[in-house]
Amino acid sequence: MNNLELLKRIYAKDREALWGNMRDDFTVHSPGQNILAGTYVGPAAFKAHIERIHALTNNTFHESLQGTFFADDTWGLVVHRMTAERNGKTLDTWGFGLWRFEDGKLTDHWESVGDQAHWDDFWS
């Protein structure tokens, strides 16, 4: 499958496509000054990161795709809106998932947000 199709499957919640196409040193870069910020290395660390997001929001975290996917042999970009509730706060911001591929495998993912201050406040 090409990188564009892989991204579409990942954002359609096809976890087999996600976990089956990562390098062992796959790295997630999560921005900001909040409890999620940091670097997560390896598929298990990324899985734990995702599970933590859902646990901290009582499974209210939701991504709505905006129908924008770009991908070539090295880079992919997905635009989505993220919403959630946590501790009396409401999250509502754009997100930009930037992905890097090498030899047909996922190597890096940068979690970018449209409103960093809002994101940091929500997760603080």
The structural domains of the chain, with segments of one domain joined by +, span: 3-122
pLDDT tens across 2-54, in order? 999 999 999 888 999 999 999 999 999 999 999 999 999 999 999 999 999 99
pLDDT tens across 79-123, in order? 999 999 999 999 999 999 999 999 989 999 999 999 999 999 999
CATH of domain 3-122: 3.10.450.50
pLDDT at 70: 92
Strand 38-41 and strand 62-71: the pairing is unpaired
pTM of the complete model: 0.91
